[in-house]
Every structure is written in C-alpha cells, then in structure tokens.
Amino acid sequence: MHICLVNLPRYEVNRPPLSLAVLSAICDSHQVDYSCVDLSLLIWQKLQDDFYDIDNFCITKIINDPVKQRLQELIDKVIINTISKYPNTTFALSLLSFWSQPVAELFCQRVKQLSNCEVLVGGQGLDNPTWTDRLKQQKLIDNFIVGEGEISFKKFLEGCRSGPGINNYDFEQIDDLDLHCFIPNYSKLPLDQYPYLNNTPSLFITASRGCVRNCSYCDIGHQWKKYRYRDAKNVAKEMITQYERHNIQEFFFTDSLINGSMKMLNELCDVLIDYKQKNPGANFKWRGQYIFRPKHTVNEEHIKKLADSGVDYLIVGLETGSDKVRYSMNKKHTTDDAEWFLEMFKKYKIQCRLLMITGYVTEELDDHRRTLELFSRWQKFVASETITGIELGSILMILDNSPVGQQKHELEMSFVNDKPYAWHSGKNPELDMFERVRRRIETHREAIKYNWPITRSLYRLNTIKHNLLEVVDYYKIHGNTTKKVIPIMLKKTGSEEPV
C-alpha cells in the first residue's frame, strides 16, 4: 500500500503543513510507503492569478468555470503523476477546516473518475456528518477519520476500518499528548519552496489541544471537549530538533492559546532560555495566540521570560472596546487589563496584532463607541510599533456548535437564506446586518484615521461586499423588501455602493 498525503486549501502557504509532517512520522513508524502533496503550495506556484478566486471558492463554494477548469487540470496532474508511480495508492486528504470541503470534493471526484484508487479524508474539516455521509453515499470517499490522528490514522494503517473515529464520529481523545507524540517529519515536503514571510524559514508547532476559554462565538469547545497540553521539555525538544535539523528560525504555535497553562508556558521559556544560553548562535523566535488575563494574575517576570526565550510577536483576541460585551463573550479581561499587557509588551519589545469582532450579538451603540475610542487611546502603541496591526474581520458568523450558536432560540435569532452571517436577534433588534456593516466600516475608517495598520483590509471588505450583495439578491428574488433594503443599506453604509 502507498499513501499519498494531500494538504488542501484553504491553508496558508507561508509555512509547510504540520498535519502532513505528523502523518508522515506516523507512516514512518509503521514502515508504510508514502508521498506528500501540498496542493495549497502548488496552487500558489502554478495558479497564482487564480489563488484568491480559489480561496474565495473555499468560503463561498462559488467559482467561475475557467478557474474551476484550471484547478481541475492541476488536480488531475497530481493524481495522474501519483498513480503512474504508485498504482496502488490511497489518497489521504487532510482538511484543516470546513472551508477545505469544496476543493476536497472536487479532488475526490477527479480521483474516482481517473482511477480505482481509494480516498481517505480526515481532519477538523469533517465537522459535519451530513457532508461525509453524502460523499460516502456518492462513493466519492471510501473511509474517513476524525478526532486524534495519532490514534485513528495509526489504526487505519494497521488495517482497522472501524473503531473510535474511523468511519464514525465517536472518536476518543488523548488524555496524555506526550504518550502519542511524534516529531513531525518534513523530509518529503519541499521546505525550500515555501514563500516564507520575510524569507525566514518557519514551521508550525502544537503544544496543546482544546482551550481553557469557552468564548461564545467559537466552536473549539465542541471539537475538543477537554484542554490538554504537552510537557514543556517535550515541546522544547521538538523546536530544538527542527532548528538543528532544518535551521528553522521561527516557530508559530497553532494552539488556541499558548498561555492556556501558565505553568507549562513558563517552564517552556525556562528550557529555551537555558538552551540559548548554552548555544549563543540559536536565536530562533516563536510566536502564537495569547490571551490577556486579569493583570493581577500575571507578573512582569512572565513577560520578560517570554521575550528572553524568543517570543517576539503575539496575536491577541481583544474583540471589542466594551468590557460589557467582552464579558458576554466570556472573555475574562477588561480594557484596562489589556492596556497593562500592552505596556509590558512595549517594555520588552514584543509586538502584537489585535483581533476584533464588530457587531457582536449583544453590542449596543454605546459599546461600539467604546471600541472607536480605543484607536485614539492606544495610538501610542501603534507609534511604538507594539501594535503592528489589527484584524477587523468581516462580520460575525454564527457557528452552529459555538455557545452563541446553541442559544439561537433564546436570542430569538433568524437568518436570511440560512446564511450564518445574515442573522438578526430579536433581543437586539437594532443590530441588523446593515447596521453591523455600518459599524464595521466606521471602525475601519476610525482605524485609518489614527494610522492603525489593518491586516487583510481589502480582502475583508470584499468579503463583506459579497455577503451584503448575496442578501440583497435574495431579497430581490423573494420580493417585497427590496425597495426598503437597498436605501437602508446605502444610508447605513454611507456610500453609493454597498461597501
């Protein structure tokens, strides 16, 4: 048996896929012949002019025929090249999220039309049994695995076609991650071909699964019921191994939060500081997502340790300028707490990017104004390059398996054409979709006014425009509200066009 491990978009191309490297290590441990294909990288290399159309296809499931044809031809080449070398191939498709499903489905169709090869799908993208059931019924896939790949993929290689997480959603979670830990193997991925940011060789790394928070808009708690983390020495060993093996100069943690366990994080810092003191040439950096905590629970020594161990950049979910809204999101910190951290980051030269959500379900106009006030209040952190960017997102999507998604009835929520972004809550009737877009654009303008860098600015605005036009088109087709909706939309967005 030969396994062709395939990484699918939607996946950033600035670092190699960690999933394929871990699955490669599992194949090695079982002496299974395998190859790796990073389709996201190939699209970037071969279809660069179509890259963002294909990225949008992952989100909207809409793609024009010429782009789809070129994508299909690229997929066909991958399949034909693989089976010409390895006729008895099982294509194992890794889906990072549900956004991978459109390309995954196209890939499965082409495998079945071009060969008799089996198809296995797995990953966090298998969030909906309806999708996998449909693909099985259409005979586009032969098997699927969910949950912990270190268990289910290992058993699949051993010949199991049933059991926890294999062709069912009753997977078992690993309690002790260190017992099932593999050093990721990148030997069959073209590390020299990735468009690394700033030409700095960089890898993903995972130290924990799950999250200590249960933020109301996030569904990670549904995916991983229990928060677990690896031993700090184990994590450091992986970083040091990849640094020494591949001269990796930067690591980005995929964890929901790198400071979910403060004990583990401080121990990791201690191990890395000790290694760097003994190896003065080792100057690799590391980054990840971080949470602001109540300032009385964290001391300055912790921030200094982060910097001394190599942390130079963190992504933090601030979400809003309103303490009231932030607490309704189940975010356990205040704006004053966040400001303390920013002062510490400035002192120890740790840069950060802030994540924001405009128009949360409980947000009122006064809450929105508090968000706008942050741009002048914290302009000093932008000037010092402590805050290097802000991610304003598009507009809030209600995820079915998030806490707020489970409260649709209590919040009296309705949706336009079942679109997760086109929601309305009877508990906050003023916050319709058009008001959310108006606030989002006002936030954007305020950020520009105070010279805040906005990441993925035009991309996000185009997504908002697309979403807004979808709703308007729906109203046009279904009649009676179009004459009301378009003037309201134009008035609220303050422009002659929707965005």
Q: What is the pLDDT of residue 479?
A: 63
The residues near 443 (Cβ < 8 Å, ≥ 6 apart) are 356, 358, 368, 371, 372, 392
Determine contact, residues 440/370, Cβ cutoff 8 Å. no
Q: d(Cα 304, Cα 350) in Å, to the nearest integer? A: 10
Taking the C-alpha atoms of residue 357 and residue 119, their distance in angstroms, rounded to an integer, is 38
The pLDDT value given to residue 304 = 98
CA 399 to chain centroid, in Å, comes to: 14
CA dist 269 and 260 (Å) reads: 14
Residue 303 corresponds to which tokens in the numbers above?
Answer: 């921030």
Question: What global pTM score does this model have?
Answer: 0.88
Q: For 149, list phi and psi in degrees, rounded to 5.
A: -60, -30
Is the distance from CB of 215 to CB of 405 less than 8 angstroms? no
Q: DSSP for 350-382?
A: -EEEEEE-SS-TT--HHHHHHHHHHHHHTHHHH
Residues 45-78 as b/e (b if ≥16 CB within 10 A, e otherwise) read bebeebbebbbbbbeeeebeeebbebbeebbeeb
Supply φ then ψ for residue 204, to 5 degrees: -80, 155
| pLDDT tens-digit profile, the chain (499 residues) | 899 999 999 988 999 999 999 999 999 999 999 999 999 999 999 999 999 899 989 988 989 999 999 999 999 999 999 999 999 999 999 999 999 999 999 999 999 999 999 999 999 899 889 999 999 999 999 999 998 888 899 999 999 999 999 999 998 888 888 888 889 999 999 999 999 988 999 999 999 988 888 899 998 888 777 899 999 999 999 999 999 999 999 999 999 999 999 999 999 999 999 999 999 999 999 999 999 999 999 999 999 999 999 999 999 999 999 999 999 999 989 999 999 999 999 999 999 999 999 999 999 999 999 999 999 999 999 999 999 999 999 999 999 889 999 999 999 999 998 899 999 999 999 999 999 999 999 999 999 999 999 998 888 898 899 888 888 888 888 865 544 444 444 455 444 443 3
* Residue 481 confidence (pLDDT): 52
- Going from the C-alpha of 378 to that of each of 28, 38, 173, 180, 336, the distances in angstroms are 50, 40, 42, 44, 11
425 and 413 in contact (C-beta within 8 Å)?
yes
pLDDT value at residue 482: 44
Nearest to 3 by CA among 115, 90, 118, 112: 90
DSSP, collapsed to helix, strand or coil, labels residue 200 as: coil
Of 131, 76, 82, 74, which Cα lies nearest the Cα of 102?
A: 131
Q: Give the number of other Cβ atoms within 10 Å of residue 432's Cβ.
A: 19
- Nearest-CA neighbor of 93 among 135, 63, 59, 56? 135
- What is the layout of strands, in order, in the sheet containing 202-205? 202-205, 250-253, 285-290, 311-319, 351-356, 387-391
Whole-angstrom Cα distance, residue 248 to residue 391? Answer: 27
Query: Within a 10 A sphere around the Cβ of 175, how many other Cβ atoms?
Result: 9
Instruction: Work out the end-to-end distance of the chain between its first and last CA atoms, rounded to an integer number of angstroms.
Output: 52
> 350 — alpha (psi -120 to 50), left (phi > 0) or beta?
beta
- Read out DSSP for 125-172? T---HHHHHHHHHTTS-SEEE-S-HHHHHHHHHTT--SSTTBSSS-PP
